Amino acid sequence: MALNLRKISRSAFQVQHVAKKHFSLSSRVSTKASELFSEEQNRQRDRVGRIEKIEVRYLGLPQDTTLVMNRELSTPYDCARHIGEKYCQQSALALLDNKTPWDMRRPLRDSCTLQLLNFTSPEPHIANKVFWRSCSFLLGAVLQSSFKPTAGLHLHSFPTPNIKSGSFVHDIVLAQEHWSPTVPELRALSIEMIKLSQKDLPIERLDVDSELAVEMFHDNPFKREQIPSVASKNNGQITVYRVGDHVDISKGPMMGSTGLLGRCTISAAHPIKEANEDGKYFYRMQGVALPSALRIHHFAYAILENRSRKLNSAKLPNEPFEDAVAEQVA
């Protein structure tokens, strides 16, 4: 019987290079959420009305400068384009008024000072947390497109990033018990992460009301359950992110594009037996990665890989939701 379960699990898993018809359901779900994202994004842009100007005081190399930008339309990425192309490519996120981390593609609301942060900054702790969170988000995108509908995959959540833990995390739910991915299957997921990086796709943020969020995640009962609690802590709003056609909930911020992801390994899948319920089986997917700007010796990276396989001790999805929601929806 165990052998049959194993065969079912293998048939439910497949990587993106296999013909699309084999996982068209996931594609339709992602496309619907993405279409709603685009419609709301366009609606919010149209709502801006008369364009007002703001002053953005850029602080950094090659020199401090003042930019005149459009309120609620211009983003830090737009500012970076005025400064130089390499700042668009290298900047992971922005820091406003020396205190507020801000997504590179999130419209600016008021006049402010602006710093562009990257992964080689002398104080990289903010950028590092953003990188870890972004890796969890991108892993969700890869998982969503790598399982056939028969697997019953639902993305649950990913905890607040903790660099010291040694791994980024995405908790998922499958319809099958005893799934244990082989080394080649984990390697295939790692390859899909690298492919996503090579596409250099923008990572976009949008704040939506809870009614639209429920529509976006109508197929995912776990996301629907999380939405009321998240909205109650965020003035009735849900922050969602999109990469390609994949949309997920996160408080952010995220890095500006997938091209900032460098070396990456999806290293482990741990069953979370205490969270299982009514034919739904929880797994904690884990990985380790480096920003594209950083290079280390393969021996040192192997140490990081081995460390990332240890079960991450972040809050589990079965822990009290009200207490854990701030961390679970990272």
For residues 93 and 240, state if they share a domain.
Answer: no
Distances (CA, A) of 274 to 152, 285, 306, 319, 326: 19, 16, 25, 10, 21
Query: Residue 99: pLDDT above 70?
Result: yes
Cα separation, 308 vs 164, whole angstroms: 10
Query: Residue 202: pLDDT above 70?
Result: yes
Query: Residue 14: pLDDT above 80?
Result: no
Region 79-98: mean pLDDT is: 96
pLDDT on residue 137: 98
For residues 285 and 251, state if they share a domain.
Answer: yes
In a domain, 170, yes or no: yes
Query: Residue 84: pLDDT above 90?
Result: yes
pLDDT on residue 316: 84
Range of the domain at 74: 53-118
> Which of 86, 103, 118 marks a domain boundary?
118
- Distant-in-sequence, close-in-space partners of 114: CB < 8 Å, separation ≥ 6: 56, 57, 58, 59, 76, 79, 94, 95, 96
pLDDT on residue 315: 87
**Given pLDDT bands bounded at 50, 70 and 90, which one contains residue 223?**
very high
Region 258-282: mean pLDDT is: 92
Query: Residue 30: pLDDT above 90?
Result: no
Average pLDDT of the chain, as a whole number? 88
For residues 257 and 149, state if they share a domain.
Answer: yes
Task: Determine what percent of the chain is predicted with pLDDT higher than 70.
Answer: 88
For residues 170 and 271, state if they share a domain.
Answer: yes
**Given pLDDT bands bounded at 50, 70 and 90, which one contains residue 326?**
very low
Task: Indicate whether this model's pTM tops 0.85.
Answer: yes
Instruction: Please write the tens of the pLDDT for every residue from 153-191.
Output: 999 999 998 888 999 999 999 998 889 999 999 999 999
In a domain, 39, yes or no: no
> Which of 118, 136, 160 marks a domain boundary?
118
For residues 77 and 175, state if they share a domain.
Answer: no
Task: Determine what percent of the chain is predicted with pLDDT higher than 90.
Answer: 76
* Contact by Cβ (8 Å): 133, 161: yes
Cα 272 off chain centre by: 21
